[in-house]
């Protein structure tokens, strides 16, 4: 993982949290209080669509969405675990390469 992919991953994480925060602060936590990202000054991007697929944002049928708080927490938790596992794998591979290179040197 290089600096560019790390900063891209960080940007995506920030945007996910911004979407969740926007809906939470707007009180869009049930169908009666649903809203659109545009009404909150947010873009409906591929990140938002991905979160719909994971049922973080639930549609009301009229173009509005509301936040499922439990699904949001689980979604973010899974993403953190995935990032930690990927980081651990990269570190192990780095040390294996270093050990093998150092051993045959």
In the three-class reduction of DSSP (H, G, I as helix; E, B as strand; rest coil), residue 99 is classed as: helix
Token pair recorded at residue 35: 């809203």
For 27-70, write each residue's pLDDT tens digit.
999 999 999 999 999 989 999 999 999 999 999 999 999 999 99
> What's the domain count of the chain?
1
Cβ atoms within 10 Å, residue 65? 22
Instruction: Write out the two tokens for 83.
Output: 């990032």
Q: Are 64 and 30 in contact (CB under 8 A)?
A: no
Domain that holds residue 41: 3-103
> What is the domain-level CATH number for residue 90?
1.10.10
- pTM recorded for the entire structure: 0.75
């Amino acid at each position: 993982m290089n600096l560019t992919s790390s900063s891209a991953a960080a940007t995506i994480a920030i945007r996910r949290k911004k979407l969740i925060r926007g809906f939470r602060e707007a009180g869009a936590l049930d169908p009666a209080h649903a809203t659109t990202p545009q009404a909150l000054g947010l873009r409906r991007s591929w990140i938002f669509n991905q979160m719909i697929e994971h049922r973080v944002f639930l549609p009301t049928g009229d173009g509005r969405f509301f936040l499922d708080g439990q699904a949001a927490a689980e979604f973010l938790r899974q993403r953190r675990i995935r990032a930690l596992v990927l980081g651990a794998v990269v570190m192990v591979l780095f040390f294996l390469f270093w050990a093998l290179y150092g051993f045959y040197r």
